[in-house]
Amino acid sequence: MTSQTGAQPLVAITHDPIEIAALLAAVSHASVGAISTFLGTVREVNDDRPVTGIDYEGYEPMAAREMQGIADELVTEWPGLRIAIVHRLGTLQVGDVSVAIACAHARRAPSADAMRRAIESLKVRVPIWKREHYVDGEWTWVDPTNAAAPMKRRP
Amino acid sequence: MTLPVLLFASYADAFGARTVAVPVTMPCTVADVVLAMRSIPGGEKLPAKPLVAVNQAYAKPDAPVHAGDEVALIPPVAGG
């Protein structure tokens, strides 16, 4: 076991607030020289509309599988990578953390690159949806593929 | 036979249900299932090529569907 610098990735869907410390603990190791973290949070404005909160819904078993697939692919690309991905579902308020990712590696470049890849992959393939609620009482399911407002999309 | 298809988010709203029983003749493909869903009320709201998962993995239109498979329609994802 001492030669094993990688670890079983921590991949989880939760309906409770995400415990960031648990992610850091999961990826920490004596072999690690860099930990890159990403926290996705609920923003108060989207497409120029004030947002009051977001309901996150998921196809939970498949979402967990896709997140596991992302983790496994990244570990294959960067051997020794230790990764944790946790996504929260349910009703979140502005400022709440919806997704947390931690990528640890001996070197900073792989840790940062893997972290960026993890969140970008999650956004295109993990079956999770969000319904935004606006101050005027309206709501909508967010559709990132909606070509009707391409100029309003932000990276 | 009828195949239960799981629905989520905007698609669940379109059909007014979390699961819809889709009439299909076995053996069939993912494309056959989607085609059959277009004649169910709400199906007219589906996009031209909705994503489909079979047994919790993305499946192409020509992928086979068997009795007992877990089939789900996947709206445009928006996690993160």
Which residues of B lie inside 8 Å of A (Cβ-Cβ)?
6, 8-10, 13, 53, 56-58, 72, 74-80
A23 neighbors A86 (Cβ within 8 angstroms): yes
ipTM of the complex: 0.96
> Do β-strands A139-141 and A128-134 pair in parallel, antiparallel, or remain unpaired?
antiparallel
pLDDT at residue A2, as a whole number: 36
Give the predicted TM-score (pTM) of the model: 0.92
Q: Which residues of B touch A127 (CB under 8 A)?
A: 8, 53, 72, 74, 77, 79
pLDDT at residue A1, as a whole number: 36
Q: DSSP letter for A124, please.
A: H
Dihedral sign, Cα of residue A137, residue A140, residue A142, residue A147: negative
Instruction: Quick: pLDDT tens for A90-149.
Output: 999 999 999 999 999 999 999 999 999 999 999 999 999 999 999 999 999 999 987 554
- Could you tell me which residues come within 8 angstroms of residue B49 by beta carbon, excluding any fewer than 6 positions away? B61
A47 confidence band (pLDDT: 50, 70, 90) = confident
Q: Does A106 touch chain B (CB under 8 A)?
A: no
Q: Which of A106, A126, A113 is nearest to A13 (CA)?
A: A126
Distance from CA of A88 to the nearest CA of B (A): 9
Q: What percentage of chain A has pLDDT greater than the value 70?
A: 90
pLDDT at residue A155, as a whole number: 52
Instruction: Quick: pLDDT tens for B42-69.
Output: 999 999 999 999 999 999 999 999 999 9
Instruction: Quick: pLDDT tens for A80-92.
Output: 999 999 999 999 9
Q: Which residues of A touch B75 (CB under 8 A)?
A: 129, 141, 143
Contact assignment for A59 to B13 by CB distance below 8 Å: no
Helix (H, G, I), strand (E, B) or coil at A45: strand
pLDDT at residue A149, as a whole number: 47
Instruction: Quick: pLDDT tens for A6-20.
Output: 568 899 999 999 999
Contact assignment for A143 to B58 by CB distance below 8 Å: no
Residue type, B13: D
pLDDT at residue A146, as a whole number: 77
Place of tokens 């086979």: B64
Instruction: Please compute the mean of the pLDDT values over residues B30-35 and round it to a whole number.
Output: 98
Determine the Cα–Cα distance for residues A14 and A144; give it in Å rounded to an integer: 23
3-state secondary structure chain A: CCCCCCCCCEEEEECCCCCHHHHHHHHCCCCCCEEEEEEEECCCEECCEEEEEEEEEECHHHHHHHHHHHHHHHHHHCCCCEEEEEEECEEEECCCEEEEEEEEECCHHHHHHHHHHHHHHHHHHCCEEEEEEECCCCEEECCCCCCCCHHHCCC
Q: Name the residue of chain B whose CA is nearest to A60's CA.
A: B56
Q: Which residues of A touch B77 (CB under 8 A)?
A: 123-129, 144
A152 confidence band (pLDDT: 50, 70, 90) = very low
Determine the Cα–Cα distance for residues A89 and A22; give it in Å rounded to an integer: 18
Q: Does A88 touch chain B (CB under 8 A)?
A: no
Q: Give CA separation, B69 vs A11, A45, B65, in Å.
A: 25, 40, 7
pLDDT at residue A4, as a whole number: 41
